[in-house]
Amino acid sequence: MAGNEGYLAKPSGECCLKGSIHEGEARGRIEEIAGIESYVSAPRGKDNGNIILYFPDVYGFFLNGFLIMDGFADAGYTVVGMDYFRGDPVWKHRKDRHDHSNPTFDYEAWKMKHTAYADAAVPGWVEAVKAQFGKPTTKYACVGYCFGAPYVCNELAADTCAAGAFAHPAFLKEHHFRRLQKPLFLSCAEVDHTFPTEARREAIDILRHDKKTYNVQLFAGVEHGFALRGNMENPYERYVKEESLRAIAQWFDYWLSR
């Protein structure tokens, strides 16, 4: 996430602490990969032989994220997610943006600490996933939410992943878009303080001008976090969460079948 240019998708902020906990039972398993606690969810039934690398938002490992990973597994992928927060997700300090019960918690310092660790740890973790789970015929995709978006872009500037996607991104600068070599799917909220309309349009202009391969999905009436922490008692919020996951899975199906 280094670089001197300004952010297009700004660092995680107060809006990133908003959300609901979903209902369900995670079916994956936790294991260490490259010394990092990781969640592994395998397909049930249809198995396309391919792998999705999952980069979580600031909530890290929690039920909603596990269920999203299980959802991608239902689409036929082995899904492997990393806990680059090392058991220290933001919800352990602040339950939501209105929670100030821990006045000593420094959100900015928390972000700096975990960003520095994730930047250093992600490349080795990706290689360890490939060594442990990959086969000569395996193809890879990557998906990230909020904090995880830069790692998707980094992977799409490298050789491992055939396609990637992010939803309601944070921490993105111009170079993340300019360096892309593989197709990117952007799942976006109309109301997003980390990736507002002007920044989203600037990012799309870069992608268009540089002739990158991309697709933009934009949902009206939802905010940052819609794809992971929406209110499932609201039918529309449930729809957009499920539609985001479905569209990303189909994006991967197409590009990994080429």
> Which residues are designated catalytic?
146, 192, 224
DSSP strand pairing (214-223 vs 184-191) = parallel
Structure tokens at 114: 């975990």
C-alpha triplet 70, 72, 73: angle, nearest 5°: 60
Residue type, 136: P
CB 34 within 8 A of CB 124: yes
CB 78 within 8 A of CB 52: yes
Phi, psi of 81 (to 5 degrees): -115, 150
- Secondary structure (DSSP) of 210-257: TT--EEEEEEEEEETTHHHH--TTSHHHHHHHHHHHHHHHHHHHHHHT
Beta bridge partners of 143: 54, 165
